[in-house]
Structure 1
């Protein structure tokens, strides 16, 4: 899946993956992490997720990365914040209080950019990638976050019933990517109301990788 695919999605406003409300599973289970104010939460492929606003409200320092600059411009416009913008190692870096977002390819991001991450919140990143990209993504994510724990949200559904993204990620695939590095705990598995993309029966699942 190439960069042009996502740029076109944002350009044409085909962003059904974007949520109007904070993810309930994040709200219900975030406390299990026992983070202190100022802890860094990394949000890969963050888009303009409102979840980042909620994390900021909990006193977290949010670090995101996103391919589409349009998405990041929309995010800051929505929260009515004027960010400082700088060029950093080929990225455009948008910064505000307790918030840093890099615009560019996540695979070019390094530990020096994200800093000391307390937890990765992956709601829309792994599920956005086709199967052939997921192994490299998971390895890269572990590397740049120095193996930080994760809150991972995935969808489980019959992939033959519809195309992704979001793609179906089974429990066995999560284990394939992460079981050698983390203890994996399923925190929640709930039906997607109205079905995925308005029709396909699916489960939304939250796991703690620690």
Structure 2
């Protein structure tokens, strides 16, 4: 079943409003209820020391939900990258115009980009694309699979940092720890940020740090298109980690306007295999006040 909110000029249709109310009635209590042994509704993670508190993650391993940099490298090495989608993301396609806000030549940042084909789509639209990915293997695969010639530079200001640059294409991808990035390192700020599940993938304890990096990179007139999830953590460790609407607003509302764009039931066979009762996709547009 797929339940989506339809917007016309930023306003939901009566039919969509009815669907949204039904979705919220079904899931709101579950998504806001604190869950023991692993996750709380506010996104903070409890300390889990005993094996009884471990749950399965999306990779099928018992986990406390915490992912280190080494854990992410291990997933790429093992080819456990089912989170990568070979097609353009429909959220990006739907809200692209709102994100670029009338600009024809934007500087677009894609955090924790992996080998996302969305970067090639944005590149083909005439934009300058900059990504950041911890795992170098994913970046190498992107350039190879998209048949883009590249060069590699070392970035002394970043720990083990490198910059993959297209030779004939206006794309650059930093391979480094995301939290080391700043607008000086990236040689300027960005008109747009396209965040497909990046904020949902990081450890909940790092959300404030993530917020600080993103807002440092975003231009004062920029638009931040964000795609996150509300996930049942009763039996599922994550990532993705649940991010309820109240927490998202609390994280950004002091400095930013947060526009709710879309809420839909995103349950699919893969998510169902995690043992979750609900998997809700939530889309927001964030801009400075």
Q: Same fold (TM over 0.5)?
A: yes
Please state if 1:24 is matched with 2:90.
Answer: yes
Please state if 1:187 is matched with 2:251.
Answer: no
Contact 2:189-2:217 within 8 A present in 1 as well? no
In 2: Cα distance, 1:5 partner to 1:153 partner: 23
Q: 1:149 to 1:194 in 2, by over 3 A?
A: same
* 2:177 equivalent in structure 1: 105
In 1: Cα distance, 2:189 partner to 2:212 partner: 17
Cα root mean square deviation, aligned:
1.6
* 1:120 equivalent in structure 2: 193
Contact 1:95-1:101 within 8 A present in 2 as well? yes
Among 120, 135, 140, the residue aligned to 2:213: 140
* 1:158 equivalent in structure 2: 232
Larger RCO, structures 1/2 (Cα 8 Å, 6+ apart): 2
Contact 2:113-2:132 within 8 A present in 1 as well? yes
In 1: Cα distance, 2:263 partner to 2:269 partner: 14
* 1:172 equivalent in structure 2: 246
Contact 1:76-1:83 within 8 A present in 2 as well? yes
Among 106, 118, 127, the residue aligned to 1:51: 118
Runs of 4 or more consecutive aligned structure 1 residues displaced over 6 Å after TM superposition: none
- TM-score by length of structure 1 reads 0.93
Give unmatched runs, 5+ long, in structure 1.
none
Q: 1:107 to 1:126 in 2, by over 3 A?
A: same
Using the TM superposition, name which of 92-101 and 108-117 deviates more: 108-117
In 2: Cα distance, 1:45 partner to 1:35 partner: 26
Please state if 1:71 is matched with 2:138.
Answer: yes
Give unmatched runs, 5+ long, in structure 2.
1-66
Deviation string 1:10-37 (CA, Å, 9 cap, x unpaired) is 0001112111211111101111132423
Contact 2:267-2:280 within 8 A present in 1 as well? no
User: CA shift at 1:144, angstroms?
Assistant: 3.2
In 2: Cα distance, 1:107 partner to 1:140 partner: 7
Please state if 1:95 is matched with 2:165.
Answer: yes
